[in-house]
Structure 1
Amino acid sequence: MAGSKPKLLSLDAFAKTVEDAKVKTASGGIITLVCVLVVLLLIRNEYSEYTSVVNRPELVVDRDVNRKLDINIDITFPNLPCDLVTLDILDVSGDTQADVLKSGFEKYRLIPSSNEEVLDNAPVLRNDLSLEDIARNPNKEGGGFCGSCYGALPQGDNEYCCNDCETVRLAYAERMWAFYDGANIEQCENEGYVTRLNQRIEQKEGCRIKGTAQINRVSGNMHFAPGYAKTSPGRHIHDLSLYEKHFDKFNFDHVINHLSFGLDPVKEDPNHQSTHPLDGYRLILNDKSRVISYYLKVVATRFEFLSGLAMETNQFSAIPHHRPYRGGKDEDHRHTMHAKGGIPGVFFHFDISPMKIINKEQYAKTWSGFVLGVVSSIAGVLTVGAVLDRSVWAAEKAIKSKKDI
């Protein structure tokens, strides 16, 4: 044992000094106090970082591509009556959802004279039936009333009947005939449709539309356009007769109150940062011949919280663009020529990403990281303090020796 002591002594990295050999100075006391304050400040910062929560994103392949995606819309058209607006959804898979406003959407009439929003309770036709189902005469053999379709459907053998205004309007749309306001059509006149529509036009009513639709997770577009639509192979046409009849009325100026895909995390947690860039977006052009487009890139997003709960939603970016559907030169950019074609309306072109972002809530530091940070802070400050103290002590000795000379 005696022979092993020198070897252990040579390995001692913490050499001791004799108490009598230590010299204490006022400058050393000041440096010590400063070091203590700095250490306490650094420890507080380390603890604040240790207890703070951060989101760490991770990019993975989205495995929910076969599920439907909700699209939530709340949009206001101040210069367009509710009777004139239709909403259709088309995608690259070939699926078409026509006149979606009849499926769970709420339409509010905006009355300028009283500055009110009134729920539009005008009767609507079921959109889960085809025109043939709606207009087919159930009493073909037994006679009975059979309303005229005005040539839009064959009625020679009483197979089809148009007994209400909506059926006539739908029949006109199937033949791509101009319907205008339904004037001189007996069913529309008797139901008060013509009077109601013209009254709303004269009052310069607007429309606010709220609701949720479901789309496939593929590229496509959702658009608001005037008049009934007819979809045929390679074509999607709207009846613009009433929209173009009044050259000094109607346009698609609008305010997007809200647009989101899937679950809205802001509704679930008011403190959550909004990921909806178009909320509150306003576009006023005062031009009825505009095709207004929004190009949306949608990415599925999952939030995983420290509590163990998780929430599925979607984030998206948006690029707005508008042009006259009659084409021609751009007034603001003289070297730009707009393409001719399309219809007036508001189009949301969505492109669904096959990737998914997972945002995981985590503490900024682990317990071991916090301890290591505290130890490093103390050691660093003490090392700098020791160097500073030695420098001050050496300077004091040098000054004192010069004075003694």
Structure 2
Amino acid sequence: MSPGNSGNSLPTLHQLCVRVLVRNAKYLWATLCKNLARQSTQPTRTDPGSGETWRDLYESYEQERALKLERASARVRGAYQDLENQRKARKPILTHETPRMRLSQPKRFGTPPRQRLTRMSRNAPSLSNRLRSFDAYAKTLDDFSVKTISGAAVTIVSTLIILTLLVSEFSDYRSVDLRPRLVVDKSRGEMMTINVNVTFPHAPCFLLNLDVMDATGEQEASVDHDIYKVRLDPLGNRITEDRESYRGGEKVAKVGNALANTDKDGYCGSCYGGKHPDGLSCCNTCDDVRRAYNSMGWAFANPDDFEQCVKEHWKENLRSQAKEGCIIHGFLKVKKVSGNFHIMAGQSAIHNNVHIHTIYSYMPDDYDFSHTINHLSFGSTYPDMVNPLDRATKVAPVRDLQYQYFLKVVGTEVHYLSKPDIISNQYSVTEHAKRLLSFPFSGGNTGVFFNYEISPMRVIYAENRKSLSHFLTSLCAIVGGIFTVAGIVDAFIYRAETVLRKKVELGKQF
């Protein structure tokens, strides 16, 4: 006999529940009919002590129904527990199973078929029941859940907090930050660009020269390539706007007679023993003569001794510019080693590897080195780059002042996610100013000196964005944490309300 057809099989849980509910429904229906019949035979009275009204009947009916339901639930739980205990205590049975005969094998007469024993459970759980046992989030019936105003308030507040934090986390996920990293700089000896823009309001352009020298011994006097000068009137307004570089550190204004800038046919001016730096054999202008003298290391003391300068009224033109100012701007290409560049007054030259500055009598003596550093950087610029000397202004109360800036240059690389990389430099600065009391016989020179030192380290900035996994982890942490804290707060409030309500019902005074 199969287990499903046995005469003493136990009723299922569904059958027990149906029986209990039918029995309770019959009892409740009979009680209701009895109360209705009794109410129909008696008059309805509302004065105290005169009998039950419909309201009293309804309240008694609700009380009886709740009591019956509680008893029915207890009986159902007891029956289910008994059924589970019996199922666990029941031993599995052994059944015989005869396998099908294979057609390929010959039939053997007189040999009983081979039998095998199969251990089976009468009430083996199905796959869905097994999966259901792993549910860590057990659900409760809606009839047993209680909703309160305090719980709703906690839910609204926690939801707003979660939304705010989610928006902030998403904004942080979409943003890009620069993370610095320090490495050893291996790019020594390469070329480096220095961008410079300095204004001298009380020094004329023809008086100023820019020179460069480095630790390897290389020197360049009166730099004229990629360096430009702009003349300023005494009020600071620009006089010249041309972009032509100033050879030898100066360019005399185009004034004077026509002979100053016009070569006659067949005319070849003498260089007076000097050698033109461009390899020319003729010096047709005063500036050519001056450059030829500078290349030989000779002093260009008196312009009136040269025919070209007399024709151009060179000395008079210089004196007319004595009250002007000057802007020196451009860029320098230097080796990436320690060195300095400076802006000084007078003619500069290199003689026997010695750097010489000479101030002549025809040059003005009422200038000073008050200056404004409009811009100074090393290499390319990048966003949020800070140059400490930009827009720095110094006012010289006297003429014989020497300004020195000591710069510590650190190589910098910026690696972008979606843009080309930038290789540049940052620098820090320490400044010093001193007065040369016995100028010009103190062994020092007035001017502005920029002494730079290259750091052996390099800073690398790399753009980084948070990964998607980090963003999702943060979202889960925010939602889970807020809901957990909100659950604790709600449970505490509900517990406090319950305790207070019970005390009020008992009539306690606070």
Q: Which residue identity lines up with residue 238 of structure 1 in the other structure?
A: H
One of 303, 306, 310 as aligned partner of 2:414: 303
Contact 1:78 1:206 in 2 (8 A): yes
One of 366, 373, 380 as aligned partner of 2:467: 366
Aligned length in residues:
358
- Which residue in the other structure is 1:141 paired with? none
- Higher mean Cα deviation, 249-258 or 2-11? 2-11
- Which residue in the other structure is 2:183 paired with? 60
Q: Distance in 1 between matches of 2:364 and 2:314?
A: 18
- Which residue in the other structure is 2:234 paired with? 112
Deviation at 1:28, TM superposition (A): 0.6
Does residue 1:83 correspond to 2:185, yes or no?
Answer: no
Deviation at 1:22, TM superposition (A): 2.2
Contact 2:206 2:249 in 1 (8 A): no
Unpaired segments of 5 or more residues in structure 1? 128-143, 154-159, 266-271, 329-339
- Which residue in the other structure is 1:356 paired with? 458
Q: Distance in 2 between matches of 1:43 and 1:147?
A: 80
The two structures, once aligned, show a CA RMSD in angstroms of 3.4
Cα 1:18–1:199 shift into 2, 3 Å: same
Deviation at 1:112, TM superposition (A): 2.3
Contact 1:178 1:240 in 2 (8 A): no
- Which residue in the other structure is 2:424 paired with? 313
Q: Structure 2-normalised TM-score?
A: 0.62
Q: Deviations over 1:50-83 (max 9, x none)?
A: 0011111122233332321111111111111111
Cα 1:187–1:5 shift into 2, 3 Å: closer
Contact 1:173 1:239 in 2 (8 A): no
Deviation at 1:166, TM superposition (A): 3.9
Q: Which residue identity lines up with residue 218 of structure 2 in the other structure?
A: D
Unpaired segments of 5 or more residues in structure 2? 1-123, 251-267, 276-280
| Identity within the alignment, % | 35
Contact 1:170 1:228 in 2 (8 A): no
Q: Structure 1-normalised TM-score?
A: 0.77
Deviation at 1:106, TM superposition (A): 1.6
Q: Deviations over 1:123-161 (max 9, x none)?
A: 84699xxxxxxxxxxxxxxxx975646xx99xxxxxx99
Contact 1:179 1:242 in 2 (8 A): no
- Higher mean Cα deviation, 311-320 or 43-52? 311-320
Cα 1:242–1:372 shift into 2, 3 Å: farther
Correspondence list, 1:78-157, <5 A: 78-100=201-223, 102-112=224-234, 115-119=237-241, 124=247, 146=270, 148=272
- Which residue in the other structure is 1:283 paired with? 394
- Which residue in the other structure is 1:332 paired with? none
Q: Secondary structure at the match of 1:117?
A: coil
Cα 1:123–1:11 shift into 2, 3 Å: closer
Deviation at 1:163, TM superposition (A): 7.0
Cα 1:34–1:125 shift into 2, 3 Å: closer
Q: Distance in 2 between matches of 1:196 and 1:73?
A: 28
Structure number with bigger Rg: 2
Contact 1:177 1:239 in 2 (8 A): no
- Of Structure 1 and Structure 2, the greater helix share is in 2
Q: Distance in 1 between matches of 2:133 and 2:246?
A: 98
Q: Distance in 2 between matches of 1:126 and 1:257?
A: 20
- Which residue in the other structure is 1:250 paired with? 367
Q: Which residue identity lines up with residue 215 of structure 1 in the other structure?
A: V
Q: Secondary structure at the match of 1:382?
A: helix
Structure number with the bigger relative contact order (C-alpha 8 A, sep ≥ 6) is 1
Q: Distance in 2 between matches of 1:368 and 1:69?
A: 42
Q: Distance in 1 between matches of 2:269 and 2:304?
A: 21
Does residue 1:241 correspond to 2:360, yes or no?
Answer: yes
Q: Secondary structure at the match of 2:303?
A: coil
Does residue 1:28 correspond to 2:129, yes or no?
Answer: no
Q: Secondary structure at the match of 1:118?
A: coil
- Of Structure 1 and Structure 2, the greater strand share is in 1
